[in-house]
Amino acid sequence: MTKHLDELKYWRKVWRRARTLRVDVSGEAWCNHWHQHLDWDGRGSRSRLEHRKHIRPLMRAFSRVRQELAHQDKPHQVYVCIHPIDPGSDAIYVHTPNPHSEFPAHFDDLKFISVLPPLLMGLISLAHYQVGIGEYKGQKWYTVLPRQC
């Protein structure tokens, strides 16, 4: 019974983080690929199903942050990176003009796909997002970007 309650408590905490994630880029504030992980404990590594369960709140946070930043005047980019092997590395990123790196960030090295891999199928809508496959330090990553309206 305790294990079940711990699991419920864990998921409540993850979803609360996804629903309440705030990013302040007002005034002089800026983000240099600032990011937030939701699977700090690496529970998504247990199985493909657990990984998919963590992608859901990550995409909810993505939608939430995009809506929040849409009402701010500062130019920004919001994207999600999903690591198929290391779910603890999955994160939502925010990038704005800043003194440390180029803005906007370029995603020229991504190969955009038209069919989602099984890990992402049913979790991401290609009508609203584009998904690119890239490589970083020899590891494959999926990068999810909003489609331009």
The pLDDT value given to residue 46: 85
The pLDDT value given to residue 134: 95
Count other Cβ atoms within 10 Å, centred on residue 49. 8
The pLDDT value given to residue 12: 92
Query: Which residues of the chain are modeled with pLDDT < 50?
Result: 149
CB 111 within 8 A of CB 140: no
The pLDDT value given to residue 42: 77
CA distance 50 to 7: 12
pTM score of the predicted model: 0.91
CA distance 57 to 62: 8
Mark out the alpha helices in the chain (DSSP H runs).
2-20, 48-70
CB 113 within 8 A of CB 132: yes
The pLDDT value given to residue 11: 87
The pLDDT value given to residue 1: 56
